[in-house]
Structure 1
Amino acid sequence: MAEPTPPAGPPAAEPAGQPAAEPTGQQATPPAGQPAGEPRGTNRGPGRLLIAVYLLFAIAATARAGLQIATKLAEAPVAYLLSGVAAVIYIVAAVGLARAGTGGRRTALVCCSVELAGVLGVGALSLADPALFPDETVWSEFGSGYGYIPLVLPVLGLAWLWRTRGADRTDPSGRG
């Protein structure tokens, strides 16, 4: 016995307020100027490595500052508290980059900017007047104790935010 055939005619419309589903196996058209298949969000591609480095520095700075603040804060309070501030900035920057979207981008932008100003300011002060910092901070001598990564990291973060600047308008997750 033959199966009944569906009636011919136009396809059923999507319910009101619901976007039409994309055909299986096809990607949405990328924004202008973006090659197909190349993700642009701050948490995609090279952004994942940047987030990983921020997380690594967050862990290192938090552990070091936490130990110093807990055991010898009186010896160099400014240095140890600055290291604590740097740790918080690394954490928040990593979260901002990982979140993507407008809110995440703004958070990362502020953190990377403050971080760059901090490493430049503390780096210059620590060289000009070493007595101000009886012990090193993450940012002392422009991050020389950490292989100058604290100096390079905010520059890379700001460059990545600049490179992916159109991604917040196309973030499909709706976060932001």
Structure 2
Amino acid sequence: MSAIGYVLGISYPLLALSTGARGVYQLFFRDDLPKLAPALSIFSSLLYLVAAVGFFKRSPRAWRVSVTALSIEAIGVLTVGTLSILAPDLLGHTAWSRFGMDYGFFPLIQPLLGLSWLLYRPTRAAYGVGPVRQA
């Protein structure tokens, strides 16, 4: 696995833990928040876990699952991030609010970096995905 793969494989479980803990705390101990906000945080933490497993397991199926999870994550971050700026009270405060600003914008950067890495030819070859040409 390349350095980027290791970074993603380590950072995704950490982000899953932090967003999952935040979502569970908000869901059970913060009655003043709309329930959609913690639900989105918990959903994002599950996506992070799915992607993390795919980073370490080398198979075409794991690659497809990771690409799907990261695509959903990227769309979610862009959608929730945009809505949180245009209509801040609509969704409440989630891990993806303001494009993940509370998490140093990692929720925005990580899926884009992860997709770039997964779509990179040597990575696809390591997963056994797509046409692999010998030089």
User: Is TM more than 0.5 here?
Assistant: yes
Match in the other structure for 1:144: 101
The corresponding residue for 1:105 is 63
Q: Which of 153, 162, 165 is residue 110 of structure 2 equivalent to?
A: 153
Which AA in structure 2 matches 1:53?
S
State yes or no: 1:80 paired with 2:38: yes
Q: 1:51·1:97 contact (CA, 8 Å) conserved in 2?
A: yes
Corresponding residue number in structure 2 for 1:23: none
Q: Aligned partners of 1:84, 1:131: CA distance in 2, in Å?
A: 19
| Mapped contact 1:58–1:90 kept (Cα < 8 A) | yes
Give a deviation string over 1:83-125, Cα, whole Å, max 9, x none: 0100100011101111121111011101100000000000000
Report the residue type matching 1:157 in the other structure: G
Matched to 1:127, the amino acid is: I
**Paired AA for residue 118 in structure 1:** G
Q: 1:73 to 1:107 in 2, by over 3 A?
A: farther
- Cα RMSD of the aligned pairs, angstroms, is 1.4
Secondary structure of 1:166's counterpart equals helix
Match of 1:167 among 105, 120, 126: 126
Residue number in structure 2 paired with 1:60:
18
Normalising by structure 2, report the TM-score: 0.88
Moved beyond 4 Å, runs of 4+: none
User: Shift of residue 133 of structure 1?
Assistant: 2.9
The number of equivalent residue pairs is 126
**Distance (whole Å) between structure 1 residues aligned to residue 41 and residue 31 of structure 2:** 11
How high is the sequence identity, in percent, across the aligned residues? Answer: 37
**Separation (CA, whole Å) in 2 of partners of 1:73 and 1:118:** 24
Counterpart amino acid of residue 97 in structure 2: S
Q: Which protein has the bigger helix share?
A: 2
Per-residue displacement from partner, 1:113-166 (whole Å, max 9, x unpaired)?
Answer: 0000000000000001011133x2010011111111100000011011011112
Alignment of 1:102-141 (within 5 A): 102-134=60-92, 136-141=93-98
Q: Contact 1:73–1:80 at 8 Å: present in 2 too?
A: no
Gaps of at least 5 residues in structure 1 are: 1-43, 171-176
User: TM-score of the superposition, structure 1-length normalised?
Assistant: 0.68
Structure 2: give runs of 5+ residues left out of the alignment.
Answer: 130-135
Q: In the aligned structure 2, how far is the partner of 1:100 from the partner of 1:61?
A: 26
Question: How many Å separate the matches in 2 of 1:80 and 1:126?
Answer: 14
